Structure 1
Amino acid sequence: MPNPLALYIHWPFCVSKCPYCDFNSHVRESVDDAAWRTALLADMAYEAKLTPDRKLTSIFFGGGTPSLMPPSTVAALIDTAAQLWGFADDIEITLEANPSSVEAARFADLATAGVNRVSLGLQSLDDAALAFLGRAHSVAESLNALEIAQRHFDRINIDLIYARPDQTAGQWEQELQRALSFGTDHMSLYQLTIEPGTRFETLVRTGHFIPAAADDAATLYEITQQITSAAAIPAYEISNHARTASESRHNLSYWRYDDYIGIGPGAHGRRLNSATQRHKKPENFLSAVARNMHGISSEEHLDAESRATESLLMGLRLNEGISLDRLSARTGVAADKLLDLAAVDKIAQLGLIQRTGDHVTVTSQGMPLLDAILPQIVNVEVETAA
């Protein structure tokens, strides 16, 4: 049976650029919706010809702000995807949305179009924090949007950003407990990071604010794990928490290194042992589709070691860990070539990793240290090949 196939559709436009955001998002005075619908459909059709006889297990509309898309465009993309590939019986179709009143007004039409899961970027439950984060909505507007979403979608994720400057443990605990009271089945809880090229990076460099100290952020991470576990919505990935059987199937496709198609400006894909990337700038993407009937800017064949390394790096983010036997069977790379097993066992003595037979799992204590652990256990020559 073929591996699961996921589809990611990138809508690059936003009303404004958030100061912490390094995603491929763009502000434009106007958007030619008809032109974008045509281009995305063509990009999709190109990929479908390369992946016949596969069924989609998930679709994810990301951005940017895909809740700004006309619901008719969303419907056209979903309907065409069904015709090109066919759907698994329990397909998950997620759309990211800002919790503004304008976008919430579209939720009913988006549900009719076929979206069955929405991811709401609440980001904070404090109005002052929202202003700091450059968000255009208020807490009251967020909660109204969440209420509307809960009427139209069975599955809802909410995003929150913590470890903000001067945020105390008590403040975060109160905010998180309030968020848990909303009863959503999934929460994405991200520590604020200062990404290169963002406005926040400039503000930090020029001394306008000081990010949270690493020790303070680590304390807030521990509080997050304790509170969410007690509320039966534990972490299944570093920043993602879900109730039983409510994990994001689309994101699991990434972390389990299944094939996924990426269309739209800047979208990445992994399919047929190749890595694809689309043109990032919207205008360049449209021009490429007009010339070539696809928006690909680069396509690279991934050798077995590169695929094995990527699979390892993604899989270790999950609390389920990885099976070395499964990884070797899929890529042909032996586990002892990929990993320094002696280093794995040494770190396991510190309680940061568990190795049981062929299965390797990063523990809850090790997960916040994952970036430091990986260089010690992944063989240098394989890591370089990736």
Structure 2
Amino acid sequence: MQSLAKTLREAIGNGELKAYVYSYPPKRTYNELENIGLSNVWDSNDVGPVSLYIHIPFCRYRCTYCTLFLTTRHTENLIRCYVEKICEQIRLYATFAGHRTVTSVYFGGGTPTLLPIDQFAQIFSSIRDGFPNIDRSAELCVEGSPDTMSEELLDFLKNQGVNRISMGIQTMDSSELKASGRPYPVSMSISAIEAIRKRFDNFNLDLIYGLSGQTQESWKRSLERVLSFGPTTVSLYPVVSRPLTALQKQQRLQPQEYADDHVKYAIYDSNVDFMQKNRYRQESFTRFTCLPGGTSAYGQETSDFLGVPMIGVGTGARSYNGKCHYSFDYAVDLKQVGKAIDDYLNLEITEQNLVKYGIILNEAEERLRYFMLNLTLNQLSEADYSRLFQRNLYADFSEAIDALEAEGCIDLRSHGAIRLTRKGYKYSNLIAHHLFSDHVKIREERYVPK
């Protein structure tokens, strides 16, 4: 078996571009769990913090590159029934964890801002009734798209305490927007950004590079235009071909229309230079935060990586507390998403029914999860690791640390911390994938979508 140092060196040399790692272990490693209920996962005597994630799986359209768990086939009645089920799930979780302090609330999707105001109000009411101890510094974030950002909705969200909006712009070029499957003009994106920044000091805008027909010049114009609005954070994602997307088929038929991995890495390098020049601090492979005074974005992602338990509500949400990671039986095959939502709506919300599919981590996997995810966010602390696991970080991960240092991906000069170098940021997703345990890799390879 090759050493980690050798495989990592080869992968970096080949310029592999891997998908963004936002969790570990992946849901594709989940199997059916037996005889586990909420009381086994959520100790009612535990007073530690918790975060909430609300999954809204509805969109008006599916973009060509999208593999998210969502459906474009929905009715007003379906959405209404789904919201009622979400509120029922929140009420049950509150009986186990409602006394805890909530450090973040995140509405993801899909497109949460498709919800009517009265249904948003219903969810917020359920959260406040069930989890009254929302920290004053908690981040309350809602994702959305430009064609759903009405001024009335934004006013409502602000009045509900939402303090961050995250919006997928993807491109400011009309032809690229149309080719990616978004049937609205760039002027709508501009209007939505203006409406958001009038109301929210903290907002994130997403852009994607490597789209069909996109050139480095058109990409630079999009990036410059987005920065002119002064977003607190900007998330820059490369197109990564994934199974089951329209993009994968298009790339096979028209490869000349898409940038290869080497070109996308070159764009990444220019992005880093450009963002630094414009006083944005890099915080991960994708995310840049405005300086001075900019605060770290994605409060939930950061707290999750640090080990704060997460309660996921909705059919595509995952939950996590210590060793236990679980979700509903979700479908990667996009044709089965509608059935999965129907199954959720017909499910009796009980303690036993909410913990049906997942994975129980052993202690080594828990430590690896912490090491990997916090490394990618550049916040890996020897002291925090020792406090959480009563073990020595350098002893537990000597092979990985030596390999990363040899490749110039980390800097060990910061007292008590391991910091990514510029090269380390660039290959952080590649590094994470190579750190996956053999057990997780095998379970992921054996996953068969329904």
Shared topology, TM-score over 0.5?
A: yes
Q: With CA pairs under 8 Å and 6+ residues apart, which has the higher RCO, 1 or 2?
A: 2
Q: C-alpha distance in 1, partners of 2:383/2:296?
A: 27
The answer to whether residue 380 in structure 2 is matched with residue 322 in structure 1 is: yes
Deviations 1:124-154 (A, max 9, x none): 1100110111112211011011111122223
1:131 maps to 2:178: yes
TM-fit CA distance, 1:210: 4.7
2:58–2:74 CA contact under 8 A, matched in 1: no
1:188 aligns with 2:188: no
- The aligned residue for residue 348 of structure 1 is 405
Q: Find the residue that maps to 1:158 and give its secondary structure.
A: strand
1:159 to 197, 202, 206: 206
Matched residue type, 1:79: S
Tell me, which stretches of 5 or more residues in structure 1 are unaligned? none
SS at match of 2:301: helix
Alignment correspondent of 1:331: 389
- 2:116 aligned with 1:70: yes
Contact 2:207/2:235 (8 A) holds in 1: yes
In structure 2, do the counterparts of structure 1 residues 338 and 268 end up closer, same or farther at CA, with 3 Å as the change threshold? farther
Cα drift, residue 323 of structure 1: 1.6
CA distance in 1, matches of 2:322, 2:364: 15
Between 291-300 and 262-271, report the one with greater CA deviation: 291-300
Report how many aligned residue pairs link the two structures.
Answer: 384
Q: Which moved more, 1:152-161 or 1:369-378?
A: 369-378
Displacement of 1:106:
2.3
Contact 1:14–1:64 under 8 Å retained in 2: yes
Measured against aligned partners, the alpha-carbon deviations of 1:337-380 in whole angstroms (never above 9, x if no partner) come to: 642x2552353244211224542222121222224434666776
Q: 1:354, 1:362 within 8 Å by CA — same for their partners in 2? A: yes
Find the residue that maps to 1:119 and give its secondary structure: strand
Among 59, 62, 69, the residue aligned to 1:17? 62
For 1:336 and 1:102, the matched residues in 2 are separated by 47
User: CA separation of 1:157/1:374 partners in 2, compared to 1, >3 Å: closer, same or farther?
Assistant: closer
Q: Within the alignment, does 1:259 sit opposite 2:309 as a pair? A: yes
Q: Confirm whether residue 270 of structure 1 aligns to residue 302 of structure 2.
A: no
Q: 1:145 to 1:102 in 2, by over 3 A?
A: closer
Is 2:193 aligned against 1:146? yes
1:370 and 2:428 are equivalent in the alignment? yes
2:147 to 91, 100, 123: 100
* Maintained 8 Å contact 1:275/1:299: yes
Task: Report if aligned partners of 1:308, 1:328 keep a CA contact under 8 Å in 2.
Answer: no
User: SS where residue 367 of structure 1 aligns?
Assistant: helix
Give how far 1:382 is off. Answer: 9.1
Kindly tell me: are residues 198 and 332 of structure 1, through their superposed partners in 2, closer, same or farther at Cα, counting changes over 3 Å?
Answer: farther
Please report the TM-score for the alignment, with normalisation by the length of structure 2: 0.77
* Pair 1:346–1:8, CA change in 2 (3 A): closer
Q: 1:152 to 1:293 in 2, by over 3 A?
A: farther
Deviation at 1:67, TM superposition (A): 0.3
Letter in 1 for 2:100: R
> Residue 345 of structure 1 aligns to which amino acid in structure 2?
D
Structure 1 residues 236-247: aligned runs within 5 Å = 236-243=283-290, 244-247=294-297
Deviations 1:110-132 (A, max 9, x none): 32333221111111110011011
Q: 2:217 aligns with which of 165, 170, 175?
A: 170
> How far has the Cα of 1:219 moved from its partner?
1.1
- Percent of aligned pairs sharing the same letter: 23
Distance 2:233 2:417 in 1: 26
Q: Is 1:37 the equivalent of 2:37? A: no
Structure 2 CA distance, aligned partners of 1:128 and 1:44?
42
Q: TM-score w.r.t. structure 1 length?
A: 0.89
- SS of 2:412's equivalent in the other structure is strand
CA 1:385 to 1:324, structure 2 compared with 1: closer, same or farther past 3 Å?
A: farther
Q: 1:100 is paired with a residue of what secondary structure?
A: helix
CA distance in 2, matches of 1:278, 1:383: 21
> Match for 2:59: what amino acid?
C
Structure 1 residue 217 corresponds to structure 2 residue 276: no
Determine helix, strand or coil for the equivalent of 1:121.
Answer: strand
Q: CA RMSD in A?
A: 2.8
Q: What secondary structure does 1:361 align onto? A: strand
Q: Is the 8 A contact 1:95 1:117 kept in 2?
A: yes
Q: Which amino acid aligns with 1:44?
A: I
Aligned: 1:250 with 2:300: yes
